[in-house]
Copies of this chain bind each other. A is one copy, B any other.
């Protein structure tokens, strides 16, 4: 097995560590006035632009398990999570800050890997790293990502604009990330006592990628702009379809009907669900972390939406009094429930 070099964080000191981690980041935006290394970042927005801001934290043992989550992928994924929130406002990500809570158990090389993933995501998404700090954490790794973005003030899409009869559209397919996680957890359990574990992932590579290295749907926001489609409401699918749709409906003061057979589920998702005796629809409804986008458009835009070729229409908006329902192929209505929260 590969023996990696282990450098103790204490040998570098705080400044040395930050210098090491933040090297090799390119600046993509002239609007970035002050980046890493000051009390705060400073950006100069363009006239007419709004500035968007979102913060997400990820806790070891709650949001990720380092026994199977490669740090490089984790770095990529935390950027995706923040970027996805900016996209859900119909915006473009521009800058980010990364704050780490780290235990001294972790060698510098582990943080190098994490930052390699962050750097890769920043390059791919054309985002400037503009700040962050590192602190001691008593327990596991905590990663906090703040992403700034920009949007034309008149094209910001909120959660609260869905109207009766609007179409409910989603990108990609759902449940894959959750099933990827189930696969990783299964192999961890099976191989817990094995000296040289060789987990079996063949045929499920797509599920692993959706969980470990999800790509933000930047393409959708670009396509909507190109087709001059302005959704009435939008949210990113991070908590699961049921919870996120209900959140959108709650904010928009409306109800929804979605159709079970229209929920897109990938072939690998169905296959693993069958193998593990799981219901792929439950995975889609409650799994979360798909980082796809859910949005609503007026019914008159149906043709334009279909032309995009990137989304599925899974249902429509109803009056608030009717609530949120899943309609099964046999015609029964199942009331949607949001899943739990603090364990």
What is the interface of chain A, defined by CB distance below 8 A to chain B?
9-10, 13-15, 17, 33-34, 37-45, 47, 50-57, 59-63, 84-86, 88-89, 91, 95, 97, 99, 101-104, 130-140, 142, 144, 146-149, 151, 153, 156, 158-160, 234-236, 247, 250-251, 338, 340-343
With A37-B251, A62-B138, A156-B33 known as contacts, the answer to whether A55 contacts B97 (CB < 8 A) is yes
Given A55-B131, A57-B142, 7 other A-B residues pairs in contact with their CB atoms under 8 A: A33-B153, A34-B89, A38-B158, A41-B52, A56-B99, A134-B341, A142-B142
Some 25 contacts from A to B, beta carbons below 8 A apart, are A10-B342, A13-B338, A14-B341, A15-B247, A33-B153, A34-B89, A38-B89, A38-B159, A39-B234, A40-B52, A40-B86, A40-B91, A42-B50, A42-B52, A51-B148, A53-B130, A53-B131, A55-B131, A56-B99, A62-B101, A102-B342, A104-B342, A134-B341, A139-B139, A142-B142
Cβ distance A340 to chain B, nearest Cβ, rounded Å? 7
Q: Which residues of chain B come closer than 8 Å to A44, judged between CB atoms? A: 50-51, 153
Say whether chain A's binding surface is mostly helix, strand, loop, or mixed: mixed
With A40-B54, A149-B40 known as contacts, the answer to whether A59 contacts B138 (CB < 8 A) is yes
Contact of A57 among B37, B61, B101, B147 (CB under 8 A): B101
Are A139 and B138 in contact, CB atoms less than 8 angstroms apart? yes
A41 (CB) vs chain B CBs: closest residue: B53
Q: Which residues of chain B come closer than 8 Å to A144, judged between CB atoms? A: 55, 57, 99, 144
Q: Which residues of chain B come closer than 8 Å to A9, judged between CB atoms? A: 341-342
Task: Report the bound CA distance from A42 to B89 in whole Å.
Answer: 9
Are A340 and B131 in contact, CB atoms less than 8 angstroms apart? no
Cβ distance A193 to chain B, nearest Cβ, rounded Å? 24
Q: Which residues of chain B come closer than 8 Å to A160, judged between CB atoms? A: 38
Task: Report the bound CA distance from A15 to B89 in whole Å.
Answer: 20
Cβ distance A94 to chain B, nearest Cβ, rounded Å? 11
Contact of A138 among B85, B97, B140, B341 (CB under 8 A): B140
Are B54 and A39 in contact, CB atoms less than 8 angstroms apart? yes
Are A53 and B135 in contact, CB atoms less than 8 angstroms apart? no
Are A47 and B50 in contact, CB atoms less than 8 angstroms apart? no
With A51-B43, A55-B55 known as contacts, the answer to whether A136 contacts B37 (CB < 8 A) is no
Cβ distance A95 to chain B, nearest Cβ, rounded Å? 8
Cβ distance A214 to chain B, nearest Cβ, rounded Å? 16
Cβ distance A6 to chain B, nearest Cβ, rounded Å? 15
